[in-house]
């Protein structure tokens, strides 16, 4: 599924105090690509991800997925599209505490009113794929942070989304849990040919991607393609991060 | 900074505060209006006959009103402190001293109360005249209501404002202090199905048996004067309804949701997977409030039922006592006609009916005693020729049936048992007679019961005394002046009948005396010379109007209180619940589906109490509707209550959805 983002921009706040979160960004993502979006805090990573995933509307520009301009769709149709074609992993997991693990994971299928047999089949497959069969009856409160994120990933993937959006998926995890999650994401990307868009500020996390775009102050600053060697790619990312710096958010003290 | 925190908190919960302030303002406005009405000079001038009664009643009513409004404010004011729990705990974690947090809570409450009082007093000023005119309209008084607030009332209002604001602010400050001391995390409600399922089933059994007993009560209510069975039934119904409803809320409804949740073909479809759990959670949280609202709604409906049927009974009693504006007998008719002529009274209708007085004896089932007394007889044709209002409340009879009209010992409960075997002196025994309580020409014109008999029976029967009753209706009253009334006072008693009861009816006789006997004996009866409604009609209308005014005011106030409690409970969902709805939106649940959850939550929260309240008030109908039937008017009253209550549900849904949408945009 090819994603074409054309000249999108987004402002927050009122006229005088408006913040230009995204300024005329264009980017293309190929089918089955694992794209990382990097940049300092406040650069516009999450806003870009939210707009591509139709959770927010851009002020200008187009988001075309497989020839369909999502910005022209009604909210209701956007929600339907989101539910059918997309999966989401958030830093804060966004699991429903009132539901147990199984109910959280099967929720996207239940929302699509899939038949019970399919729901059970997909659930078993997903639990085996992510190696979390023993968690199915557990309450969310009883899980570790790493387990929660894996469950969130299972929920995101159960309806075989064509695009997986991950916003700082490793942000709340320790390095071991983060590595496990990233391995799973890479596996899904390769096995299921799922297109993944991941926003992160962590170089190690980004090194799992096939390509990384760097955003600074709402514009694309640069991009690096994975040369096939993760260590080398990691170094390239670190170097680019040094070049970009912390962004305005971190430069406040320097200005003083 | 503290000023900013208070401003921010008030702004964040503005929708909820607005509802609370409006409900409080309404209560304060009504309290002020009731209080100021007592010493309003126009009320005193217009209702001089009532003397201090109006002042006393308005003072008592305003005190009762203030007491319940205060309870409401304590209870609902606590919702806001609870809502800010996390905020207060965060302030403390950040190092804010406890006294500062407690002061913030105190000031917030004081500001909200002050705003409510300002709006409430403005409501009082704006609507005092309107409410006064409404009162005069209901009391059918043509008098200009003058806006007035006495110094005494004003001083009292200021005192109540200061004291109540201080007390409420202190209470909320104490509640805040307790939150800071306890620091407990979100309480997880234990499901305890082993307790809930049997409790729920027992609750359903209690409610069902209460309804069955209510059906029996409809039948048994007529025997309340001599049997304890109806009372036992009422006590059982009340207990079973109150406890049964709680148990159903506690056990049965959550069990139903739990079962539905476990039926995968239902719960794995669409948003049900989440909504069943969400509803269950909200139900667990609100069980006590839902129960409280149910019982108060049932009480309100029972009170309305009681008031309606009470008013109907008094009205009916009044109409049967005074069916004509003026009534007379053959001895007084000439004098009265002469006086009416003098006044140029505009007669709308005049009637006259010949009656016979004879001696009867029978065994009365209602009093369970053997009775011998004189009875007035009227023919069926004469009875039927009288205006409909004379016989519409009596049992319907045809031309060959008998109808016994007797005094009703109880206002509310009519005894409709037919009388049998009435012996009449010199006439055939009356085997069966229907019962009625509405006397043609008014109950006060009679010294005893009256019998409507078939025409040929009437023609053939002998009589001890013959008389004729006269009745008039007027346009704009009989216009009899005080001096004329004084003159007519001499004709108040037409004649006296001394009955000599012997061993049998045929030997017993009636001696008619024109002069009042020096010594009254047990068997001496007085025939009234005339009967006039006069002032009584006016006072009856005024009393009825005042009664309607107070009942309507209290009902609306109760409705506002209950509606706002439910609305606030829905609005003040905790952050955790709001974030769950936000998560649903993030993972692709359509807005319409989330709106559906909110709608469903609102519908259930408002529907459950009113349905159970209606079920309970069914017993009130059985108790007060003389155990006969459900009348059209009471259905209309209930429908009105439901419509007003429903309006709160709709407002609550709109405001609730607005709040959720705002959070989605964050």
Q: CB-based contacts of A93: which residues, under 8 Å, 6+ apart?
A: A145, A148, A149, A151, A152, A172
Q: How far apart are CA A225 and CA A223, in angstroms?
A: 7
Residue A194 lies in a domain: yes
Q: Do A79 and B590 touch (CB under 8 A)?
A: yes
pLDDT digits 0-9 by tens, B72-82: 888 888 888 88
What pLDDT does A38 receive? 92
pLDDT digits 0-9 by tens, B60-101: 888 888 888 888 888 888 888 888 888 888 888 888 888 999
User: Both tokens of residue B512?
Assistant: 């008619």
Tell whether the model's pLDDT for residue B315 goes beyond 60.
Answer: yes
Residue A188 lies in a domain: yes
Q: How far apart are CA A190 and CA B99, in angstroms?
A: 59
Highest mean pLDDT among B18-32, B295-309, B327-341: B18-32
Q: Do B273 and A110 touch (CB under 8 A)?
A: yes
Token pair 């106030």 is found at B557
Task: Out of B278, B580, B589, name the one closest to residue A111 (CB).
Answer: B589
Task: Out of A79, A97, A106, name the one closest to residue B588 (CB).
Answer: A79
Residue A20 lies in a domain: yes
**H or E segment to which residue A235 belongs:** helix A230-244
Give the residue from B266, B573, B588, B596 with the most A CB atoms within 10 Å of its CB, the best one to mutate.
B588
For residue A109, list chain B residues with Cβ-Cβ distance below 8 A.
268
Query: Model confidence at A256, in pLDDT bands (50, 70, 90)?
Result: very low
pLDDT digits 0-9 by tens, B437-487: 888 888 778 778 889 999 999 999 988 888 999 988 888 777 777 788 888
Chain B residues 263-292 with a CB less than 8 Å from chain A: 264-265, 267-274, 277-278, 281
For residue A55, list chain B residues with Cβ-Cβ distance below 8 A.
586
For residue A84, list chain B residues with Cβ-Cβ distance below 8 A.
588
For residue A80, list chain B residues with Cβ-Cβ distance below 8 A.
588, 590
Q: Which residue of B has its CA nearest to A56?
A: B665
In this complex, is the C-beta atom of A17 within 8 Å of any C-beta atom belonging to chain B?
Answer: no
Residue A255 lies in a domain: no
pLDDT digits 0-9 by tens, A29-57: 999 999 999 988 888 888 999 999 988 89
Chain A residues 129-158 with a CB less than 8 Å from chain B: 155
Give the mean pLDDT of A187-213: 91
Determine the distance in angstroms separating the CA of A39 from the nearest CA of chain B, rounded to an integer.
23
Tell whether the model's pLDDT for residue B414 goes beyond 70.
Answer: no
Candidates B329, B362, B332, B326; CA nearest to B347 is: B326
Task: Determine the structural domain holding residue A184 and report its residue range.
Answer: 3-250
Domains in chain A, number: 1
Q: How far apart are CA A178 and CA A171, in angstroms?
A: 8
Q: How far apart are CA A68 and CA A56, in angstroms?
A: 17
pLDDT digits 0-9 by tens, B585-609: 887 788 888 899 889 888 988 999 9
Q: What's phi and psi for B323, nearest 5 deg?
A: -70, -30
DSSP state of A92: T
Determine the distance in angstroms separating the CA of B277 from the nearest CA of chain A, rounded to an integer.
7
Q: How far apart are CA B472 and CA B338, in angstroms?
A: 14
What pLDDT does B85 receive? 85
Determine the distance in angstroms separating the CA of B184 from the nearest CA of chain A, rounded to an integer.
17
In A34-115, DSSP assigns E strands to 34-38, 60-65, 68-69, 86-90
Indicate the range of A124-128, B337-341, B534-538 predicted with least confidence.
B534-538
Determine the distance in angstroms separating the CA of A221 from the nearest CA of chain B, rounded to an integer.
28
Query: Model confidence at A252, in pLDDT bands (50, 70, 90)?
Result: very low
Residue A23 lies in a domain: yes
For residue B583, list chain A residues with Cβ-Cβ distance below 8 A.
94-96
What pLDDT does B183 receive? 63
Determine the distance in angstroms separating the CA of B579 from the nearest CA of chain A, rounded to an integer.
9
For residue A92, list chain B residues with Cβ-Cβ distance below 8 A.
none
Q: CB-based contacts of B271: which residues, under 8 Å, 6+ apart?
A: A110, A111, B584, B589, B593, B594, B596, B597
Task: Out of A55, A106, A110, name the one closest to residue B270 (CB).
Answer: A110
pLDDT digits 0-9 by tens, B87-141: 888 888 888 888 999 999 999 999 999 999 999 999 999 998 888 888 888 887 7
Cβ atoms of B422 and B433 closer than 8 Å: yes
Q: Do A76 and B277 touch (CB under 8 A)?
A: no
Q: Which residue of A has its CA nearest to B581?
A: A96
Model ipTM?
Answer: 0.79
Please list the residues that pair with B370 across neighbouring strands. Answer: B363
Residue A256 lies in a domain: no
Determine the distance in angstroms separating the CA of B584 from the nearest CA of chain A, rounded to an integer.
8
Provide the Cα torsion B18, B19, B23, B24; round to 10°.
Answer: -40
What pLDDT does B534 receive? 63
Tell whether the model's pLDDT for residue A115 goes beyond 80.
Answer: yes
Provide the Cα torsion B110, B116, B122, B125; round to 10°.
Answer: -100
Tell whether the model's pLDDT for residue B379 goes beyond 50.
Answer: yes
In this complex, is the C-beta atom of B666 within 8 Å of any C-beta atom belonging to chain A?
Answer: no
pLDDT digits 0-9 by tens, B178-188: 888 876 655 66
pLDDT digits 0-9 by tens, B632-661: 788 888 898 899 889 988 988 998 888 888
Q: Do B273 and A107 touch (CB under 8 A)?
A: yes
Q: How far apart are CA A218 and CA A220, in angstroms?
A: 7
Residue A147 lies in a domain: yes
pLDDT digits 0-9 by tens, B183-218: 665 566 677 888 999 999 999 999 999 999 998 888
Q: Do A76 and B278 touch (CB under 8 A)?
A: no
Give the mean pLDDT of B320-338: 84
pLDDT digits 0-9 by tens, A125-182: 888 888 888 888 898 888 988 889 889 988 988 888 899 999 998 887 788 888 888 9
What pLDDT does B415 receive? 54
Mean pLDDT of chain B: 84
Q: How many angstroms separate the Cα of B68 from the Cα of each of A214, B37, B500? A: 64, 19, 61
The CATH number of the domain holding residue A63 is 3.40.50.300
For residue A76, list chain B residues with Cβ-Cβ distance below 8 A.
590-592
What pLDDT does B228 receive? 85
For residue B592, list chain A residues with Cβ-Cβ distance below 8 A.
76
């Amino acid at each position: 599924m090819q994603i074409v983002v054309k000249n999108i921009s987004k402002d927050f706040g009122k006229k005088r105090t408006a913040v230009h979160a995204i300024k005329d960004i264009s980017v293309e993502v190929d089918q089955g690509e694992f794209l990382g979006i990097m940049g300092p805090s406040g650069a516009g990573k999450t806003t870009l991800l939210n707009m591509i995933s139709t959770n927010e509307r851009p002020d200008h520009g187009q988001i075309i997925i497989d020839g369909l301009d999502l910005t022209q769709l009604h909210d209701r149709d956007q929600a339907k599209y989101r539910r059918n074609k997309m999966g989401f992993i958030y830093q804060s997991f966004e699991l429903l505490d009132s539901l147990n693990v199984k109910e959280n994971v099967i929720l996207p299928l239940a929302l699509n009113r899939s038949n019970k047999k399919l729901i059970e089949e997909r659930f078993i497959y997903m639990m085996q794929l992510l190696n979390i069969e023993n968690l199915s009856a557990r309450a969310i409160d009883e899980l570790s942070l790493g387990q929660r994120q894996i469950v969130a990933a299972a929920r995101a993937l159960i309806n075989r989304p064509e695009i997986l959006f991950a916003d700082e998926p490793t942000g709340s995890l320790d390095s071991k849990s983060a590595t496990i999650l990233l391995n799973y994401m890479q596996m899904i990307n390769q096995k299921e040919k799922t297109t993944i868009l991941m926003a992160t500020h962590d170089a190690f996390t980004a090194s799992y991607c096939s390509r990384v775009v760097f955003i600074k102050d709402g514009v694309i600053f640069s991009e690096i393609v994975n040369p096939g060697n993760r260590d080398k790619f990691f170094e390239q990312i670190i170097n680019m991060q040094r070049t970009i710096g912390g962004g305005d958010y971190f430069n406040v003290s320097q200005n003083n | 900074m503290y000023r900013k925190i208070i401003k921010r908190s008030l702004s964040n919960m503005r929708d909820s505060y607005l509802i609370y302030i409006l409900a409080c303002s309404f209560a304060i406005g009504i309290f002020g209006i009731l209080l100021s009405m007592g010493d309003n000079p126009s009320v005193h001038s217009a209702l001089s006959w009532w003397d201090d009664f109006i002042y006393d009643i308005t003072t008592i009513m305003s005190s009762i009103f203030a007491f319940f409004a205060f309870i409401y404010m304590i209870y609902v004011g606590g919702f806001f402190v609870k809502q800010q729990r996390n905020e207060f705990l965060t302030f403390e974690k950040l190092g804010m001293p406890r006294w500062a947090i407690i002061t913030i809570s105190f000031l917030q409450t004081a500001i909200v109360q002050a705003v409510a009082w300002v709006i409430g007093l403005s409501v009082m000023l704006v609507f005092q005249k309107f409410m006064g005119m409404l009162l005069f309209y209901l009391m059918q008084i043509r008098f200009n209501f003058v806006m007035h607030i006495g110094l005494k009332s004003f001083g009292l209002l200021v005192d109540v404002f200061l004291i109540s604001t201080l007390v409420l602010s202190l209470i909320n400050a104490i509640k805040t202090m307790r939150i800071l001391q306890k620091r407990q995390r979100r309480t997880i409600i234990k499901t305890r199905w082993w307790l809930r399922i049997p409790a729920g089933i027992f609750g359903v059994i209690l409610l069902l048996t209460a309804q069955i007993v209510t059906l029996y009560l409809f039948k048994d209510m007529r025997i309340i004067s001599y049997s304890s069975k109806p009372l036992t039934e009422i006590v059982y119904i009340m207990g079973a309804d109150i406890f049964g409803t709680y148990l159903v809320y506690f056990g049965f409804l959550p069990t139903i949701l739990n079962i539905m949740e476990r039926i995968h073909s239902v719960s794995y479809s669409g948003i049900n997977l989440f909504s069943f759990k969400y509803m269950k959670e909200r139900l667990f949280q609100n069980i006590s409030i839902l129960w409280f609202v149910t019982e108060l709604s049932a009480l309100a409906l029972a009170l309305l039922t009681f008031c309606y049927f009470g008013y109907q009974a008094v009205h009916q009693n009044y109409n049967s006592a005074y069916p004509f504006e003026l009534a007379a007998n053959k001895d007084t008719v000439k004098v009265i006609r002469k006086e009416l002529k003098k006044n140029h009274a505009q007669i709308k209708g005049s009637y006259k009916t010949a009656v016979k007085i004879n001696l009867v004896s029978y065994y009365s089932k209602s009093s369970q005693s053997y009775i011998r007394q004189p009875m007035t007889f009227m023919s069926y044709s004469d009875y039927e020729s009288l205006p409909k209002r004379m016989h519409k409340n009596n049992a319907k009879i045809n031309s060959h049936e008998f109808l016994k009209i007797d005094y009703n010992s109880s206002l509310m409960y009519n005894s409709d048992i037919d009388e049998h075997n009435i012996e009449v002196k010199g006439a055939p025994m009356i085997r069966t007679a229907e019962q009625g309580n509405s006397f043609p020409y008014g109950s006060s014109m009679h010294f005893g019961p009256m019998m409507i008999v078939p025409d040929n029976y009437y023609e053939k029967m002998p009589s001890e005394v013959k008389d004729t009753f006269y009745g008039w209706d007027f346009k704009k009253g009989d216009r009899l002046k005080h001096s004329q009334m004084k003159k007519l006072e001499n004709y108040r008693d037409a004649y006296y009948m001394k009955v000599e009861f012997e061993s049998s009816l045929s030997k017993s006789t009636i001696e008619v005396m024109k002069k009042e006997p020096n010594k009254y004996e047990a068997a001496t009866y007085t025939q009234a010379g005339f009967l006039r409604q006069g002032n009584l009609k006016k006072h009856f209308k005024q009393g009825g109007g005042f009664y309607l005014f107070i009942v309507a005011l209290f009902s609306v106030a109760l409705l506002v209180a209950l509606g706002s409690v439910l609305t606030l409970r829905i609005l003040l969902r905790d952050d955790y619940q709001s974030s769950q709805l936000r998560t649903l939106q993030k993972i692709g649940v359509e807005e319409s589906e989330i709106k559906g959850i909110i709608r469903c939550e609102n519908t259930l929260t408002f529907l459950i109490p009113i349905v159970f309240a209606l079920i309970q008030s069914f017993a009130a109908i059985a108790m007060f509707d003389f155990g006969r039937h459900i009348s059209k008017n009471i259905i209309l009253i209930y429908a009105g209550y439901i419509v007003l209550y429903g309006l709160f549900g709709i407002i609550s849904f709109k405001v609730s959805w607005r709040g959720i949408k705002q959070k989605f945009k964050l």
